[in-house]
Structure 1
Amino acid sequence: MKLIRFKDKQGNIAIGLEKDDCVVDLKEIHLSRQFTDLNEFIAEHNEEDIETLQDFNGYKEGEPLDEVEVLAPFKTTVHDVICVGLNYKEHIEESRSSAAENAVYFSKRSEVISGPEDEVLLDLKVQNSMDYEAELAIVIGKRGKNISEEDALDYIFGFTILNDFTARELQQKHGQWFKGKSLDGFTSIGPAVVYKGDFTFPLELDIESRVNGEARQGSNTRLMIRDIGRLIYELSQGVTLVPGDIIATGTPKGVGMGFTPPKYLKAGDTVECEIEGIGVLRNTIVSE
């Protein structure tokens, strides 16, 4: 069950159910109420709504996907994105970091979100070391605190792709990672939020990134140091997670910083992040 946010040919923005290269506006499907925002659906749907969407087969009544503009799934996020650093062993090695006994958690500003096919600004007045990081992102579906690893799946709504764009010089300059991760547009999300019921657990999803068609990252989520259950357990100890919270689970080896010399992004580059079962998140880099 793939949910997207899209703009139709008339300029109307809606939440839709996507399958077989078609999308149907949720308002056209008989649900418990009308939902116009994905955060609203995640927080307020009931089990019958999920069953209705999973069983829906009226896609021929929808619009062809290539005739609409697919937007970021969320216009805004309920909170800044929660990020996990250094969660793949080989990425730790290419970052010239040492494996920590405890996970690295930080937040990423998400006031200005980029979506699939959006241009992302490389502001040369601010930095010139723009990097990409393909990541699986968890979308929380239920309010919870002090969640056990065994119960973690109950609190997940689904998954999406997040490109954790990073200004490396700012990341290194300030010590804390927030500034280097949080420039406008550096939170790229999409193309869809896929319901957890579409996946088999434990997750073993191929994750890749490409720059101008050149393969950069290639790994699998089974290689995470801390899996999704462990991450939710750790993050929720003493901290309340709410529907719509997004947790970016870390990136594998192959980021631009890891090459010699580094392969940072430049204006005109196209970055693609792909995760099995979710889709491709594509952005083009521009400069002023």
Structure 2
Amino acid sequence: MKLATFAIQDRTSYGIVTGGQVADCGAALAAALPDLKAVIAAGAFDRVAAAAADAPKLPLDGVTLLPPIGNPDKIVCVGLNYADHQAEMGKFPADAYPVLFLRVPSSQVGHGSPLVCPKLSERFDYEGELAVIIGKPGRHIAEAEALSHVAGYSIYNDGSVRDFQQHTTQYTPGKNFKASGGFGPWMVTADEIPDPHALHLTTRLNGEVLQDADTSLMIHKIPKVIAYISQWAELLPGDVISSGTPGGVGASRKPPVWMRPGDVAEIEVTGIGTLSNPVVAED
């Protein structure tokens, strides 16, 4: 099941995507289940599926797709999680634990909305990633049980303002400029993706393929990442984990390839779809 969050006219809703349409399930369920985060927390996918039968069907090109989860308690990102990305960045952290940092919700936009190239830097880089959306809360989750805590998967462009990212050893500034990351186009429920490490990820900038890798190449697999995060934080329904980017980022190229106003960044993941965002200059 593909579940999208979207805006139409003066309201926000959610529903099931089929072909070029989205069923406006939120129109009937919003009083009890105001958003997809609430649906996930309630385990109410069956209620959404039932509502879809009679819900208005809206053309996808007539709505504005928003981040599938617009109000997560936390967005946890994994850094340097592919060997080729470590090599191109010249950074080789010990493999015992994943490198983690946080993003804030205001740093992300949905499919089709513009990524904003900041005034303060021209080093705005793309990072195509598989996003994991937590469904069941937990602390001290065992790796063997970790995937049972996943509600579904999506796509993330972990847009990085490289000079701010590298001002210190902390990544936070360069990862949290407003509207610097893309998230979407929708969430695919976990039952349709039994193995998140059997997917293929491709990043294109203006149609040129710049990243092309299998998710099987992650150093720290998703169960390990979930288990590790849950040691220090309670994972909650709607939390997002962006699982790391493969090699091919713009910073490593000679000359570097940065996202610039007028560009279009696309990230495609098999079984999910394509996240596409134009790039604009900051006002």
**1:161 and 2:160 are equivalent in the alignment:** no
Determine the C-alpha separation between the residues in 2 that align with 1:214 and 1:233. 36
Task: Check the 8 A contact 1:5/1:14 in 2, yes or no.
Answer: yes
Q: Percent of counterpart pairs with the same letter?
A: 34
Q: CA RMSD in A?
A: 2.1
**1:50 and 2:48 are equivalent in the alignment:** no
How far off is 1:28 after superposition? 5.9
**1:222 and 2:220 are equivalent in the alignment:** no
The one-letter amino acid of 1:270's match is: V
Q: Normalised by the size of structure 2, how large is the TM-score?
A: 0.92
Question: Which residues of 2 match residues 92-107 of structure 1 at below 5 A?
Answer: 92-101=86-95, 102-107=97-102
How far off is 1:112 after superposition? 4.0
Question: Which residues of 2 match residues 92-171 of structure 1 at below 5 A?
Answer: 92-101=86-95, 102-124=97-119, 126-171=120-165
Determine the C-alpha separation between the residues in 2 that align with 1:211 and 1:110. 24
SS of residue in 2 equivalent to 1:111: helix
Runs of 5+ unmatched residues, structure 2: none
Residue in 2 that maps onto 1:69: 64
Could you tell me which of 239, 243, 246 is aligned with 2:237?
243
How far off is 1:202 after superposition? 5.4
Deviation digits for residues 239-263 of structure 1 (CA, Å, limit 9, x no counterpart): 2111111111000111101101111
Deviation digits for residues 192-235 of structure 1 (CA, Å, limit 9, x no counterpart): 01110111225311111110111110111111111111111111
Q: How many residues align?
A: 281
Distance 1:88 1:246, change over 3 A: same
Task: Check the 8 A contact 2:16/2:52 in 1, yes or no.
Answer: no
How far off is 1:182 after superposition? 0.8
Deviation digits for residues 157-184 of structure 1 (CA, Å, limit 9, x no counterpart): 1111111000111111122101111111
Q: Normalised by the size of structure 1, how large is the TM-score?
A: 0.90
Residue in 2 that maps onto 1:261: 255
Residue in 2 that maps onto 1:183: 177
The one-letter amino acid of 2:146's match is: A
How far off is 1:113 after superposition? 2.5
Residue in 1 that maps onto 2:186: 192
How far off is 1:68 after superposition? 2.3
SS of residue in 1 equivalent to 2:72: coil
**1:2 and 2:15 are equivalent in the alignment:** no
* Structure 1 residue runs of 4 or more that deviate by more than 6 Å after TM superposition: none
